[in-house]
Chain A
Amino acid sequence: MHDKTLAELARGLAAGDFSSRELTSSLLERVKKHDPAINSFITVTDEQALKDADAADTLRHKGEAGILSGLPLAYKDIFCTEGVRTSAGSKMLDNFIAPYNATVVEKLRHAGTVSLGKTNMDEFAMGSSNENSYYGPVKNPWNPTLVPGGSSGGSAAAVAAGLVPAALGTDTGGSIRQPAAFCGITGLKPTYGRVSRYGMIAYASSLDQAGPMARTAEDCAMLMNVMAGHDARDSTSVARNVPDYTQGLDKPLNGLKIGLPVEYFGDGLSPEVETAVREAVRVYESLGAQVIDVSLPHTSMAIPAYYVIAPAEASSNLSRYDGVRFGHRCDDPADLEDLYKRTRAEGFGDEVKRRILIGTHTLSEGFFDAYYRKAQQVRRLIRQDFLDAFSRVDVLMGPAAPTTAFELGAKADPVQMYLQDIYTIAINLAGIPGISVPAGLVDNRPVGLQILGPHFGEAHLLNVAHVYQQATDWHQRRPEIKE
């Protein structure tokens, strides 16, 4: 059962092949057995999961089950879940029990899904390897000496290891797509504003976006049908019709115009990853697509612009963790300043502190124009690059990351780590959607093909990804896990 896709499990439940309780308890067993080695979960909510599974089974008996009823999921521990610890991977929120559900959690709950728990992540979503978690690093199920990518590494690893068929992640600079690539699963970052951010702990508000991580594009489409849509509680969510993402997945790709950004195939890209990606592009050509080279001239500015904007917003977003109302508070503060200093010194990890310092600096008087304002100008240029490209092609394709998964501890230099996101970060700055699909294995390490589309082009991206998955079997490859 643990190898099946969400769509297959949905059919199995509908056909009565198994109950949600059977499915849920078998997965909870697997979590218990395998997760100690992977560390993909921070919190497992087994009791609640079984209760919810029973409720879903009851509904099904009454003939009131929806498509997603009884299907198990997991949430990156950045989504607030009522009555359950929501830590954001930080000591700061180790004791924080969210008193409410994030909008997406509420919607998926309403759709009948069953949450197995909360997955591990880089602290406050800051990281590309899942090594920045207060709860310890996540191991890549393909090889426990490798990182799973980050920041949604727990979600990616849990799906790859067959602990859960799908999980939610968030993506601020590549945090869904890069771990999806490293773990050999499918991960979609929707258009900014497509999915509500309410109840999703903020890292960089103008870039953060929640998305599905699953085995197939079809599974992502099923989840997007529930997740997407306007939320009156999130002013940046867009009031725009939500299509049925599962419709049109099979549409043939004859005449599809694919652009390959030349900047995404330059220095720094591992030759093996390039070979795999180009092979995937050839598959598309064989499916009737035309391929041309395009240019995104401001690509080299994406990482610098991101590392001004994201830390600036983060420095402000993380000010609320002050030890006054919730979360970690230092022992016996001498006075207010001592309370602030020690609470934050103890509660935050190094990478979080680093970004708060960067952001505080770039917003400071005398530096704002040179950094923040300039970065916003660059952001507009980057967005324009994509708009120009999409006036010529339907989708862009390239690698999701410059390499396959690297060894734990291999990137001690933060800047080396930041360069991991070179192909994903510009997409968040532009606000467009992107999906990573499994497209090969190099030394038994998955390679991710990234497909990008124009704003609100998720349905088409899912179609393009799905047709590829009908023609290839990379998404069906599973890591070997000793049962």
Chain B
Amino acid sequence: MQWEPVIGLEVHVQLSTCSKIFSGASTAFGAEPNTQACGIDLALPGTLPVLNENAVAMAVRFGLAINAEIPEYSVFERKNYFYPDLPKGYQTSQMAHPVVGRGEVDITLGDGTIKTVRIHHAHMEEDAGKSLHEDYSGMTGIDLNRAGTPLLEIVSEPDMHSAEEASAYIKAIHAIVTYLGISDGNMAEGSMRCDVNVSLRPKGQEKLGTRAEIKNVNSFRFVERAIAFEIERQAEILEEGGKIVQETRLYDPDLDETRSMRTKEEANDYRYFPCPDLLPLMLDEAYIEHQRSLLPELPSEKRQRFVESLGLSTYDANVLTGSRPLAEYFEAVQKLCGDAKMAANWVQGDLLGRLNRDGLDITQSPVNAEQLGGLLLRISDDTINGKAAKQVFADLWECRGETADEIIESRGLKQVTDTGAIESLCDQVIADNPVQVTQYREATEDKRGKMIGFFVGQVMKASRGTANPPQVNAMLKEKLDALL
């Protein structure tokens, strides 16, 4: 049978506030265990939560960025369960009245098509601490530094039907939150984590199948692989006439498989009820409009502008708007050199290629946008040719703090555009290669087009790479064709 996967995601985004959602303790990552947990985070008797205003502002801006409705009031509720890294014995979260209502996120698929994923809601909650099971000889260590870090949980509708769509969706969420500056989006440090709901149904059927939830998947790649595995696992069971058990599963990246954590029967009753220590959060129109005025240009808006105003392809626009730092890098380069297409090619090709090879991201690039823009400017004003540009780029990568112009100057890479000099080189090459000239003359029209490359190469070699290839090409063609 043909099975259609149905996928919905819950993405937990750590909001990049300085302090925690209900206390003044720092949220910085990587401190010594339990050095960033105050009395409130430890749930000392008598302590009370106070809502971090900045976390609210960030959540509201996310809501506005996905065109969601922002309800007039939202309510914090307690989700009650016992766990050693949950100090209060409940997680303060939102349930019936979340801060962000229904919205939409556009995702771009590999073939460039754009699809809309509906967002059911997004709510604020506090993160738990961490249980450390290693290094304590059979005991468990508790680190409460993370306890109380603000999270925005973004819950999608089950609108995705493949691992690729799910992956594109997470990338879109990642782009939105990093554009907004409300999260660093660092999945390795747990700033973004996903719960993935997967079910299968016979193609064409409306009714949803039984789903499995895969908890805490923490990289783009793992999300794709966990879904791929899960689709296959469920399809196998269904093909054999079996039934899917509603359960929570865990993705193990080492074995590349998901396995059962607990079934529905073992599920907790969280006994949600409104937190009596926090009043309902009331947001008026003026506040929401103020937050709207703080929104930066969003990925979808930027993408559209790149296509419409800069003339980039949808594909290029999509890659270059993938993250805010990348988009800003590209825009800076493009402004300096004045050639969007060339800037797009260089950023995507040479720059991202090299960064990927060295395992760096755009913010860690050894070549900054001013340097690359300066280099591309020298290509577009014909100071250097493409080949020389590659050498300059390689030099820039060494981080000696030079500008492109300084490198061009010191290495004598300035291209020769003096017609007289080039003409004499062309004449010389034609004179030195009579056999090839004869072959050229006897060849058909379209073969000649290819054969001219040999002469261009010789001239470039003679000029030690400083001649301007299109200029050489044109001149040689003129001279050779005159011999026909």
**In the docked arrangement, what's the CA distance between A88 and B46, Å?**
10
Q: Which residues of A contact B43 (CB under 8 A)?
A: 320, 325
Contacts of A322 in B (CB 8 A): 82, 84, 89
The interface bits of chain B over 258-299 (1 if a CB of A lies within 8 angstroms of the residue's CB, else 0) are 000000000001011100111100000000000000000000
Q: Which of B39, B273, B277 contacts A368 (CB 8 A)?
A: B273
Stretch at the interface among B48-56, B233-241, B302-310, B313-321: B48-56
- Interface residue? A471 (CB, 8 A): no
Q: B45 near A88 (CB under 8 angstroms)?
A: yes
CB of B42 within 8 A of CB of A325, answer: yes
Which of A79, A206, A320, A365 is close to B88, meaning CB atoms less than 8 Å apart?
Answer: A320
B273 adjacent to A312 (CB under 8 Å): yes
Say whether B39 contacts A99, CB under 8 Å: yes
A326 to B45, CA, bound (A): 9
Name B80's closest neighbour in chain A (CB-CB). A316
- B residues less than 8 Å from A199 (CB atoms): 46-47
Contact, CB under 8 Å: A316 / B48: no
Cβ-defined partner of B277 (8 Å) among A236, A315, A320, A360: A236
Instruction: Determine if A324 and B50 form an interchain contact, defined as CB atoms under 8 angstroms apart.
Output: no
Answer whether residue A372 sits at the interface, using C-beta atoms and an 8 A cutoff: yes
- Does A86 lie at the interface of the complex (its beta carbon under 8 Å from any beta carbon of B)? yes
**A80-B46, A235-B51, A325-B87 given as contacts; is B273 within 8 A of A316 (CB)?**
yes
With both beta carbons as reference points, the residue of chain A lying nearest to B84 in the complex is identified as: A324
- Residues of chain B within 8 A (CB-CB) of A102 are 46
Chain A 338-356 interface residues, beta-carbon cutoff 8 Å to B: 340
Q: Give every chain B residue within 8 A of A100 (Cβ-Cβ).
A: 39, 44
Mask of A297-321 contacts with B, CB within 8 angstroms, 1/0: 0000000000000001101101110
Complex contact A336–B84 (CB within 8 A): yes
The interface residues of chain A lying within 8 Å CB-to-CB of B429 are none
For the complex, give the distance between the alpha carbons of A406 and B47 in Å: 35
A58 interface residue per 8 A CB criterion? no
Q: Is A67 an interface residue (CB 8 A)?
A: no
Instruction: Please give the number of chain A residues whose Cβ is less than 8 angstroms from any Cβ of chain B in the complex.
Output: 43
Contacting pair B273 A235 (CB below 8 A): no
Would A98 and B45 count as touching, CB distance under 8 A? yes
Which A residues touch B269, using CB under 8 A? 364-365
> B346: CB under 8 A from chain A?
no
Chain B: interface residue total (CB-CB under 8 A) = 28
Given that A363-B80, A364-B269 are contacting pairs, would A320 and B45 also be in contact in the complex, using a CB cutoff of 8 Å?
Answer: yes
A320 to chain B, nearest CB (A): 4
Check if A197 is an interface residue, CB within 8 A of chain B: yes
- Whether A188 sits at the interface, judged by CB under 8 Å, is no
How far apart are A35's CB and chain B's nearest CB, in angstroms? 25
Which residues on B sit within 8 Å (CB–CB) of A80?
44-46
Binary interface profile of B, 32-66, with partner A (CB < 8 Å = 1, else 0)?
Answer: 00000001001111111111000000000000000
Contact B89 A316, beta carbon cutoff 8 Å: yes
Q: How far is the CA of A197 from the CA of B50 in the complex (A)?
A: 12
Q: Are A205 and B276 in contact (CB-based, < 8 A)?
A: yes
Q: Is A232 an interface residue (CB 8 A)?
A: yes
In the assembled complex, the Cα of A318 lies from the Cα of B88 at a distance in Å of 8
B279 x A320 contact (CB < 8 A): no
Per-residue contact bits, chain B 138-158, to A (CB 8 Å; 1 contact, 0 not): 000010000000000000000
Could you tell me which residues of chain A, from 189 to 235, have a CB within 8 Å of some CB in chain B? 197-202, 204-206, 232-235
The listed residue with most B CB atoms (<10 A of its CB), out of A86, A234, A320, is A320
A300 to chain B, nearest CB (A): 24
Q: Which of B50, B88, B271 contacts A364 (CB 8 A)?
A: B271
Q: Are B50 and A235 in contact (CB under 8 A)?
A: yes
CB nearest to A363 among chain B residues: B271
With an 8 A cutoff between CB atoms, is B90 at the interface?
A: yes
With a cutoff of 8 Å between Cβ atoms, the chain B residues found around residue A138 in the complex are none
Q: Chain A residues with Cβ under 8 A from B276's Cβ?
A: 204-206, 236, 313
Q: 8 Å CB contacts to B: which residues of A93-135?
A: 93, 96, 98-100, 102
Give the shortest distance, in Å, between A95 (CB) and chain B (any CB).
Answer: 12
Contact A360 B271 (CB under 8 A): yes
* B90 & A93 in contact (Cβ 8 Å cutoff): no
For residue B174, CB closer than 8 A to chain A, the reply is no
Complex Cα–Cα for A197 and B49 (A): 11
Chain B nearest CB: distance from A299 CB in Å?
A: 23
A233 in contact with B48 (CB, 8 Å): yes
B20 within 8 Å of A (CB atoms): no
Given A198-B48, A363-B80, A372 and B273 contact (CB-CB distance below 8 Å)? yes
User: How distant is B86 from chain A, measured CB to nearest CB, in Å?
Assistant: 9
B273 & A202 in contact (Cβ 8 Å cutoff): no
Please, how many angstroms separate the alpha-carbon atoms of A200 and B278 in the complex?
16
Query: Max chain A CB contacts within 10 Å: which of B47, B90, B276?
Result: B276
Check: B78 CB closer than 8 A to any chain A CB: yes
Q: A235-B51, A236-B277, A320-B89 are in contact. Are A198 and B46 (CB under 8 A)?
A: yes
If the complex has contacts A316-B78, A363-B273, are A201 and B46 also in contact, measured as CB distance less than 8 A? yes
Nearest B residue to A200 via CB reads B46
**Alpha-carbon distance A405/B80, docked complex (angstroms):** 38
Contacts of B45 in A (CB 8 A): 80, 86, 88, 93, 96, 98, 201-202, 320, 326
Option from B44, B50, B88, B89 in Cβ contact (under 8 Å) with A233? B50
- Give 5 pairs: A residue, B residue, CB < 8 Å, sorted on A: A86-B45, A205-B277, A236-B48, A319-B80, A364-B269
Residues in chain A within 8 A of chain B (CB atoms):
79-80, 86, 88, 93, 96, 98-100, 102, 197-202, 204-206, 232-236, 312-313, 315-316, 318-320, 322, 324-326, 336, 340, 360, 363-365, 368, 372
9 A-B pairs with the lowest CB-CB distances in the bound complex, closest first: A319-B89, A363-B271, A205-B276, A206-B276, A199-B46, A320-B43, A201-B45, A80-B46, A365-B269
Interface contacts beyond A80-B44, A98-B45, A233-B50: sample of 9 additional A-B pairs, CB < 8 Å, sorted by A: A86-B45, A100-B39, A197-B48, A199-B46, A235-B48, A316-B78, A316-B89, A318-B89, A319-B89
